[in-house]
Amino acid sequence: MFINDYCIYSKMGIDPDFKKNRQKVGTHNGHDVYGPVEPPNKLGIHGSVVAIDWDICNADGSCIPACPVSLIEWNDTPGNPLSNRKADPAREGDCIFCMACQNVCPVQAIKVTAP
């Protein structure tokens, strides 16, 4: 749906300025985690280079086979109301910036930024 030429659904995706707008609250699998994190309901954003918003990821799973270097893995998130597993950028340092994951995610949960 477009309102004033602006797709309102695009607002539903990951905040492209999450590094400015959020605080780092920890690390996981070698990448940063950006809060707020209040498990199991709020899980934050995992990764800086390959950032995946776990509060938007609904476990569609398309990103995992799409990645040519297989750096995204499942991580169980029991009790989360949206999905009981999330895509985790487990080895974001391996990213070759093909952007397949970002393009394939149906809910725009992924933002890839070259360092």
Applying CB under 6 A, the residues found at the interface with ligand F3S are 50, 52, 57-63, 66-69, 71, 87, 95-101, 104-105, 107, 109-110, 112
**CB nearer ligand F3S, residue 4 or residue 101:** 101
Q: Which is nearer to ligand F3S, 26 or 65 (CB)?
A: 65
| CB 46, min distance to Zn ion, A | 3
CA–CA gap between residue 12 and residue 14 (Å, rounded):
7
Asked if residue 92 binds Zn ion (CB under 5 A), the reply is no
Q: What is the DSSP letter of 107?
A: T
12 binds, among ligand F3S, Zn ion, none (CB under 5 to 8 A by kind): none
**Smallest separation, CB 47 to ligand F3S (Å):** 9
CB of 22 or CB of 85, closer to ligand F3S: 85
Beta pairing class for 110-112 and 72-76: unpaired
Number of neighbours of residue 50 by Cβ within 10 angstroms: 27
Q: Could you give phi then psi for residue 15, rounded to 5 degrees?
A: -70, 115
- Measured between alpha carbons, how far is 71 from 34 in angstroms, rounded to an integer? 19
